[in-house]
Amino acid sequence: MAKKRILSVDDSPLVRNLIKKFLSMTDDFEVVGEASNGEEAVKLFFQLKPDIVIMDVTMPVKDGLEAAQEILSKEPGTKILLASAMGDDDLLDQALVIGIKHSIQKPFKQAQLISALNKALEE
């Protein structure tokens, strides 16, 4: 089976490095691109056409919800896994409204990330 191609978006290099480390420990996923804000994320998404985007919410320049909305308006079926912070319930409601069905709460462990990615990709 071909590896699933991931676009990893977070303004924190620590989080991006952790995601890369977690996914490099598996044979099923590869990080094909990384972005540190929503604007870069949108640009890279259309260049790379990844299988799924791991999207942080709070970022400079353009936040994750805005970026997701922009991507989904052009590619409605896009798989986006929203990486939210604790207590962001209102935000998750907002995410659902714009069509993001999958989320994971930070901080997450490797197994949680893998299972969230698999679940989102299966649907």
Instruction: Give the Cα-Cα-Cα angle 69, 36, 86 (nearest 5 degrees).
Output: 70
Taking the complex as a whole, the smallest distance from the CB of residue 18 to Mg ion amounts, in Å, to: 13
Distance CA(108)–CA(33), nearest Å, equals 20
Taking the complex as a whole, the smallest distance from the CB of residue 73 to Mg ion amounts, in Å, to: 22
Taking the complex as a whole, the smallest distance from the CB of residue 104 to Mg ion amounts, in Å, to: 14
Taking the complex as a whole, the smallest distance from the CB of residue 15 to Mg ion amounts, in Å, to: 7
Q: Closer CB to Mg ion, residue 11 or residue 34?
A: 11
Distance CA(17)–CA(13), nearest Å, equals 6
Q: Closer CB to Mg ion, residue 3 or residue 62?
A: 62
Q: Is 53 exposed, middle or buried (0-12, 13-18, 19+ CB in 10 A)?
A: buried
Helical segments of the chain, H only: 13-24, 38-48, 64-74, 89-97, 110-122
List residues binding Mg ion (CB under 5 A).
11, 56, 58-59
Residues 68, 92: contact at Cβ < 8 Å? no
The residue behind tokens 């919410």 is 57
Q: Closer CB to Mg ion, residue 67 or residue 71?
A: 67
Q: Closer CB to Mg ion, residue 4 or residue 9?
A: 9
